[in-house]
Amino acid sequence: MTNVVSFSIIGGSGFRAQYFLRVAQALPDKFRVSGMVVRDAGKGQEMEQKWNIATYRSLEELLQKEKPDFVVISTNHSSIEYLLQLTELGIPALVETPPAPDLDGLLLLHERLTKIGAKVQVAEQYHLHPMNVARQNVIQSGRLGPITQATVSISQTYHGVSLIRKMLGIGFEDAVIRAMKFNSPIVAGPDRSGPPKEEAIIMSERELAWIDFGGKLGIYDFTVNQHRSWIRSSHLNVRGERGELFDHRLEVLSDFKTPLHLELKRINKGEEEYVGGYYLEGIIAGEQWVYRNPFIPARLYDDEIAVASCLMKMAEFVAGGPSFYSLPEASQDHYLGMMIAQAIKSGDTVRTVRQPWADHNN
C-alpha cells in the first residue's frame, strides 16, 4: 500500500480505542485517524487536545465531515447498533472483540450482516503478535509435521480459543469440552489501573479446558489477570508428528535419528552501538527468518504491532483483499468460549453444535 489509510473510530476515550490512536500516531505514513465519535463533549475536548484529532458527538455528524476508508468500532455497549448502521450505509467496519455479547447477538449478526456479505472484520490481534505469527509460520512450513495438540495459556476465553484454532488449523469443527476451575491464593499484582498500592492476598481463579476436536486436542489454561501478573507467566505449546514448539523453543528432526534444538530468537535493533532507532526487526529460528516486522522503524511493542497489523489487513480487505478474521471466525471463537464457561459452571461434558455461520465464512 502506498496511500495513507484513513479510518475513523467510534469509542470515546476507552482503553482499546487509544491503541488505534497510538498506532496511527507512530505510523503517520501508513494511517490517519479521520475523526472520532465521542458522545461526551468534555471527553471529546480532552481527546482533541491530547491526540490532535477532530471529535464528533454522533456517527451522523462524523460522516458529514469525514470520508474514512473504514470505521473502527471500539465500544462494548453499542457495537451491534453501529455495525448495522454502517452496513446500511455501505461503510466497511472493523469491530472489537467480541462482536456480540451472547449467542443471540452472534446469530443476529449472521442474519443481518454475514448473509448479505457485509464488509466487516473483527479486531482480534493475538494471532498477529510477532511471536505467534512466527509460530504459525513454523507450523505452515511443515517442520512439525501434522499438528495434533496445542496448549494455550495466554489470554482469556475467545482470545485463547482463537489461538488454539489457529495453531491446530481448526475451522468450524464440532468439539467435546471438559473443563474445571481451581482457586488458589496469590499476592495481588497490577491491574488495568496500574501497580498494586499495598500487599494483599487474593484468591486466584484458574480455568482449564480440554477441547477435543476429534484427532486434535486443544488445551485452554488461563488464570484471571494472568497477562498482567508479575508472578504468573504465559505459555504456548504446539505438538506435531515431527516436532514441538514450546514457548520460544523449537524441537524438530533433521531426520529420524538427528534432533535439532532451536530457539525462536527476537532480533532487536537499537542495542549496544546501533544508533538507527530501537525496534523489533524480526524473529529467527536457526538460520531462517520466521517473522519480519513490517512496521520498521516505528517503536511499537508487540500488542501495538498486532493492532497495526489488524489495521493494515483491514485496509487490504477493504481494497478487495482476503478476509483475515471474519465475523464467522469471531463468532465461533466466542461460542467455544461460552461453551467452555458452561462446562466449567456445570461440571458436565459439553458437546458443541454446528452454528449457521460455519457455512458462510468469507
* Nearest by Cα to 279 from 296, 294, 264: 296
Domain 5-96 part of CATH 3.60.110.10 = no
Q: 231: burial class by Cβ within 10 Å (0-12, 13-18, 19+)?
A: exposed
Cis status of the peptide bond prior to 98, with omega within 30 of 0: yes
For residue range 135-165, list pLDDT tens digits in order: 999 999 999 999 999 999 999 899 999 999 9
Which residues of the chain form CATH 3.40.50.720?
5-96
For 179, the grid coordinates are 473443563
Neighbouring residues of 104: CB distance < 8 A, sequence distance ≥ 6: none
Cα–Cα distance for residue pair 222/225, rounded to 1 Å: 9
What angle in degrees, to the nearest 10, is found between the helix axes of 302-318 and 17-26? 90
Mean residue pLDDT of the chain comes to 94
For residue range 9-54, list pLDDT tens digits in order: 998 767 788 999 999 999 999 999 999 999 999 999 999 999 999 9
- State if pTM tops 0.85: yes
Q: What is the DSSP string of 192-220?
A: TTBS-SS--EEEEEEEEEEEE-SS-EEEE
C-alpha distances (whole Å) from 166 to each of 132, 163, 210 are 10, 5, 16
For residue range 276-313, list pLDDT tens digits in order: 889 999 999 999 999 999 999 999 999 999 999 999 99
Instruction: Cell 471474519: give the residue.
Output: 326
Give 1's pLDDT tier (boundaries 50, 70, 90).
Answer: very low
For the chain, give the percent of residues with pLDDT over 90.
Answer: 88
- CATH topology assigned to domain 127-293: Dihydrodipicolinate Reductase; domain 2 (3.30.360)
* Nearest by Cα to 100 from 307, 330, 324, 314: 330
Which residues of the chain form CATH 3.30.360?
127-293
C-alpha distances (whole Å) from 42 to each of 21, 45, 178, 222, 342 are 18, 5, 48, 38, 41
